[in-house]
């Protein structure tokens, strides 16, 4: 029978392991560390020079490349800004042309306006001015058409006021031989002006397209300008004339004037033919640099005129860097011309600093290595002695508390959550014992609290359900809303993102001949937003009167909301009042989305309204109302930003374009079916993504005018 080997205690095993592992690890670490120090000492000197040269090369290339890219990006940003301005004016002139066609289509709906010939007394005042293409024009026969088209001033005026002096004038020229001009320089406008051969007239007339002309010298001495022009047509779709906006290039150049790109640098505009049309003072020398490069065969101008963004070196011996980007709507280019030294100077200074720092670092490393060697020899002796003594003490202190803790843990794991482990004075083991005690106490408390938490959650859920039902019942939700009225049809829905939401809509009869609609969105979500919604809805309805200006209504409501707005909430709101007799639709907008309008069953188009400030944001704000004429068959669609900002799983927005497309596709359907089609399209787009905002929509169809005296 074999003799049983003597059993070793945990303490002896821990002591042996600690001694062996500690001494072996220390020896291995010291040997590797000492070897690494000698290698570093031998390599530092030889690599220092290579490091400096490499740092210089990399810094020059990197800094120069970053500088070039920065100038190119700046050129792109300025080009995009100018492009956006031009696109906005092209959109304006297209809207003007549509309005002119609308005037010719329904002359009975407008009051004739008087337009007088230019007179020097009107200088520096925005007025309508009349001139003729031929001095033999039959002015008496043309008078009705002049008076009708002069109504275009209603949509010219807000555009001119918001143009920041970029617009020289707005005008229309007709095939019948007269021009109506709206600007402040009556002293420059002649009474007879033959425009039939002008580019801005002939191209839209012949092509039917909205155009932006090449830059040209203004005939009235105001400098270089371009013209946005769009044709408009008679009721029988025959050509009637051209609607125009003149844009002063010098004022447009304010976008470039605030660019700071360094001394000796220039920013300028070049047209499609390579001609400089806008440049700063002192540009002559810079222009000569570009010309000399072109004469030398470098082809710099040909690179700039490719219609793409980029950068090229040019000038004498590459002394200039040219960054350029296209303005696509005008076939222009924004060009930055920068002295090359502005790109290379920063990298040269950085490389010099790197070299000096490298030399200082090499010397410091040599001293550090020598000191470390001496300290390490002394530390080895001390550490070897300390390890042996500490390992013996540590093994005893470690094992005894662990054995006791194991016994306590066994009791707790057996289900006695009231039992507590003894806390020893060894930090980590004591912390471990405290953790087990805390765990037992937490489990005990968790079991007690779980039932109460579950019951509270069910109670809150039930109350939120009641709140959601109450909120829904406060909004008009019975359809058809006015079964005894055949002049209009209306439908609205709200889908809250949470149990209760901050969006709201409303519609009500102000009196027998006026229908009011309201669409609004309260900042925030949940119960606070829902309560603020109730206050806002009530105040708007209570203050709406048949003949009161809607801007004043919003002003009164805003002041009342500001006085009781301790939570800092605000409301974006749109209200419109439809006169069922005349078809006039008066409206006011406080920071809300623009509505979509479908004329006579045609495609829905966004109706651009300059929004005012939000409600409850600041006291004593002024709100400007507006109006349009609706015909039978016209439809209005209004909504909150939860529609256009609905987001799919890839974080893409639903957007205005998709909304316009689905509205136009269903434009002939009743309001209820239009809203259903939009909601289904949003659901398809969003898919399984979570809804973060309320989705609220309202559609109104004006079916016929109410019999009565307007």
Among 186-190, 366-370, 457-461, the range scoring the smallest mean pLDDT is 457-461
8 A C-beta contact, residue 349 and residue 357: no
Residue 341 in this model has a pLDDT that exceeds 70 = yes
Residues in the chain: 710
Two tokens, residue 205: 């007339």
Q: What is the pLDDT of residue 434?
A: 80
Crossing angle for the helix pair 10-105 and 139-149, to the nearest 10 degrees: 150
Task: Note the pLDDT of residue 492.
Answer: 96
Of the two residues 234 and 186, the one the predictor is more confident about is 234
C-alpha 501 chain-centroid distance: 24
Backbone conformation region of residue 415, classed left if phi is above 0, alpha if psi is from -120 to 50, else beta: left
Among 331-340, 362-371, 631-640, the range with the most confident prediction by mean pLDDT is 631-640
Contact 312, 322 (CB under 8 A): yes
* Percentage, residues of the chain above pLDDT 70: 77
Q: Determine the pLDDT at residue 295.
A: 40
In this structure, of 186-195, 226-235, 479-488, the range with the lowest mean pLDDT score is 186-195
User: In which residue are the tokens 């792109």 written?
Assistant: 76
Q: Give bridge partners of residue 314 from the DSSP assignment.
A: 320
Q: Is the pLDDT of residue 669 over 80?
A: yes
Residue with tokens 């609205």: 492
What is d(CA 225, CA 177) in angstroms, rounded to the nearest whole number? 24
Query: How many Cα atoms occupy the beta-carbon half-sphere of 39 within 13 Å?
Result: 6
In sign, the C-alpha dihedral spanning 524, 525, 528, 530 is positive
User: Residue 77 pLDDT > 60, yes or no?
Assistant: yes
Q: Read off the tokens for 481.
A: 């809303």
Burial class (CB in 10 A: 0-12, 13-18, 19+), 225: buried
Q: Where are the domains of the chain?
A: 10-87+344-406, 106-252, 259-339, 415-474, 475-702
Do domains 106-252 and 259-339 share one topology? The answer is yes
Residue 425's pLDDT is 66
Distance CA 646, CA 687 (A): 10
Mean pLDDT of 355-372: 71
DSSP 273-334: TS-EEE--TT-HHHHHHHHHHHHTT--HHHHHTTSS-EEEEESGGG-EEEEEEEETTTTEEE
DSSP codes joined into one string, 602-637? --EEE-----BPPBTSSTT----EEEEEPPTT-EEE
Contacts of 639 (CB under 8 A, 6+ apart): 519, 593, 659, 696, 697, 698
Average pLDDT on 457-467 reads 52
Range with lowest mean pLDDT among 7-21, 85-99, 671-685: 7-21
Q: Does domain 475-702 have CATH number 3.60.10.10?
A: no
State the greatest distance between any 2 C-alpha atoms of the chain, in Å, as a whole number.
141
pLDDT for the residue numbered 280:
66
Least confident of 39-53, 69-83, 239-253, 386-400: 39-53
Q: Please enumerate in sequence order all residues whose Cβ is within 8 A of that of 150, keeping only pairs 6 or more positions apart, or say none.
A: 112, 113, 114, 115, 128, 180
Which backbone phi and psi does 323 adopt, to 5 degrees? -110, 130
**Residue 173 CB contacts under 8 Å (≥ 6 apart), including other chains:** 133, 179, 195, 201, 241, 242, 244
Q: What is the pLDDT of residue 644?
A: 94
Q: Of the ranges 286-290, 381-385, 683-687, which is most confident?
A: 683-687
Least confident of 77-86, 440-449, 583-592, 651-660: 440-449
**Cα three-residue angle 585-588-593, rounded to 5 degrees:** 105
Q: What is the pLDDT of residue 560?
A: 94
Residue with tokens 């008679």: 234
DSSP state of 349: H
**CA–CA gap between residue 352 and residue 533 (Å, rounded):** 65
**Share in percent of the chain as helix, strand, coil (round to 5):** 50, 20, 30
- Alpha carbons within 13 A on the beta-carbon side of 502: 20
Of residues 519, 529, 527, 573, the one with CA closest to residue 551: 573
Would the pLDDT of 104 be above 80?
Answer: yes
* Beta pairing, strands 584-590 & 571-579: antiparallel
Strand partners, 244: 171, 229
* Distance from the Cα of residue 368 to its chain's centroid: 55
Q: Poorest-confidence range of 246-260, 384-398, 470-484?
A: 384-398
Q: How far is CA 110 from CA 149, 172, 256, 376, in A?
A: 10, 18, 43, 100
d(CA 222, CA 124): 14
Residue 507 confidence (pLDDT) above 90:
yes
Task: Give CA 262 to chain center in angstroms.
Answer: 30
Q: What is the pLDDT of residue 297?
A: 43
Average pLDDT over residues 578-591: 96
Contact between residue 514 and residue 578 where contact means Cβ atoms under 8 Å apart = yes
Q: Supply the mean pLDDT for the chain.
A: 82
* Residue 332, pLDDT score: 86
542, 533, 551: which is closest to 589 by C-alpha? 551
Strands 332-339 and 320-327: antiparallel
**662 has pLDDT over 60:** yes
Mean pLDDT of 663-679: 96
Confidence of residue 245 (pLDDT cuts 50, 70, 90): very high
In DSSP notation, 81-122 reads HHHHHHHHHHHHHHHHHHHHHHHHH-GGGS-----BPP-GGG
Given a cut of 60, whether residue 239 has pLDDT beyond it is yes
- Outline where 478-586 has alpha helix (H): 526-543, 550-563
Q: What is the mean pLDDT of residues 397-425?
A: 73
Cβ proximity of 109 and 63 under 8 Å: no
Nearest to 669 by CA among 619, 616, 633: 633
Q: Which fold is adopted by the domain 106-252?
A: Beta-Lactamase (3.30.450)
The most confident of 15-24, 132-141, 326-335, 403-412, by mean pLDDT: 132-141
Provide the pLDDT confidence category of residue 296 given band limits of 50, 70 and 90: very low
Residue 594 and residue 533 in contact, taking contact as beta carbons nearer than 8 Å: no
CB atoms inside a 10 Å sphere around CB 623: 24
Instruction: Identify the CATH homologous superfamily for domain 259-339.
Output: PAS domain (3.30.450.20)
- Per-residue pLDDT, averaged over 483-505, amounts to 86
């Amino acid at each position: 029978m074999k003799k049983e080997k003597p059993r070793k205690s945990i303490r002896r095993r821990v002591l042996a392991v600690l001694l062996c592992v500690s001494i072996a690890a220390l020896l291995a670490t010291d040997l590797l560390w000492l070897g690494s120090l000698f290698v570093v000492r031998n390599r530092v000197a030889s690599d220092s020079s290579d490091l400096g040269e490499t740092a210089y090369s990399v810094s020059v290339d990197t800094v120069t490349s970053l500088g070039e890219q920065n100038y190119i990006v700046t050129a792109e940003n300025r080009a995009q800004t100018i492009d956006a301005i031009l696109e906005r004016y092209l959109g304006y002139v297209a809207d003007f042309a549509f309005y002119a066609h609308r005037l010719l289509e329904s002359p009975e709906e407008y009051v004739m306006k008087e337009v007088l010939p230019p007179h020097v007394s009107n200088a520096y005042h925005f007025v309508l001015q009349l001139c003729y293409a031929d001095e033999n024009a039959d002015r008496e026969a043309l008078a009705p058409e002049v008076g009708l088209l002069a109504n275009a001033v209603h949509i010219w005026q807000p555009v001119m006021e918001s143009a920041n002096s970029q617009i020289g004038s707005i005008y229309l020229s007709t095939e019948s031989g007269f021009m109506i001009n709206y600007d402040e320089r009556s002293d420059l406008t002649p009474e007879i002006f033959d425009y039939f051969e002008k580019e801005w007239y002939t191209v839209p007339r012949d092509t039917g397209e909205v155009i932006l002309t090449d830059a040209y010298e203004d005939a009235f001495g105001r400098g270089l300008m371009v013209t946005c022009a769009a044709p408009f047509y008679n009721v029988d779709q025959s050509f009637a004339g051209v609607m125009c906006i003149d844009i002063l290039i010098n004022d447009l150049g304010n976008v470039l004037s605030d660019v700071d790109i360094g001394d000796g640098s220039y920013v300028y505009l070049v047209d499609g033919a390579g001609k400089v049309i806008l440049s700063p003072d002192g540009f002559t020398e810079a222009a000569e640099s570009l010309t000399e490069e072109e004469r030398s065969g470098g082809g710099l101008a040909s690179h700039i005129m490719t219609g793409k963004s980029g950068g090229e070196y040019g000038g004498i011996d590459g002394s200039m860097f040219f960054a350029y980007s296209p303005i696509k709507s005008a076939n222009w280019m924004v060009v930055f011309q920068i002295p090359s030294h502005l790109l290379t100077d920063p990298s040269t200074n950085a490389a010099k600093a790197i070299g000096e720092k490298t030399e200082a670092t090499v010397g410091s490393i040599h001293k550090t290595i020598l000191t470390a060697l001496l300290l390490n020899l002394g530390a080895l002796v001390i550490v070897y002695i300390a390890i042996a003594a500490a390992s013996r003490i540590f093994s005893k202190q470690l094992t005894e508390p662990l054995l006791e803790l194991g016994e306590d843990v066994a009791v707790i794991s057996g289900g006695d959550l009231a039992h507590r482990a003894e806390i020893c004075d060894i930090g980590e083991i004591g912390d471990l014992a405290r953790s087990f005690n805390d765990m037992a106490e937490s489990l005990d408390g968790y079991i007690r609290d779980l039932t109460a938490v579950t019951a509270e959650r069910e109670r809150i859920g039930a109350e939120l359900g009641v709140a959601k039902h109450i909120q829904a019942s406060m909004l008009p939700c019975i359809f058809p809303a006015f079964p005894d009225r055949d002049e209009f049809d209306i439908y609205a829905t709200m889908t809250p993102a949470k149990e209760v939401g901050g969006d709201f809509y409303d519609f009500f009869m102000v009196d027998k001949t006026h229908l009011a609609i309201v669409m609004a969105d309260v900042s925030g979500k949940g119960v606070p937003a829902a309560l603020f919604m109730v206050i806002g809805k009530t105040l708007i309805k209570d203050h709406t009167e048949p003949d009161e200006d809607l801007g004043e209504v919003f002003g009164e409501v805003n002041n009342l909301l500001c006085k009781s707005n301790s939570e800092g909430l605000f409301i974006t709101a749109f209200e419109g009042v439809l006169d069922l007799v005349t078809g006039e639709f008066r409206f006011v907008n406080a920071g809300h989305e623009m509505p979509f309008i479908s004329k006579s069953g045609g495609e829905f188009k966004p109706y651009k309204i300059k929004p005012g400030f939000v409600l409850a944001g600041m006291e004593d704000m002024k709100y400007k109302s507006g109006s349009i004429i609706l015909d039978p068959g016209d439809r209005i669609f209004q909504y909150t930003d939860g529609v256009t900002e609905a987001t799919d799983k890839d974080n893409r927005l639903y957007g205005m374009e998709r909304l316009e497309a689905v509205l136009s596709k269903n434009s002939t359907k009743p309001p209820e079916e239009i809203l259903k089609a939009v909601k289904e399209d949003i659901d398809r787009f969003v898919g399984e993504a979570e809804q973060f905002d309320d989705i609220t929509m309202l559609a109104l169809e004006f079916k016929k005018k109410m019999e009565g005296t307007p």
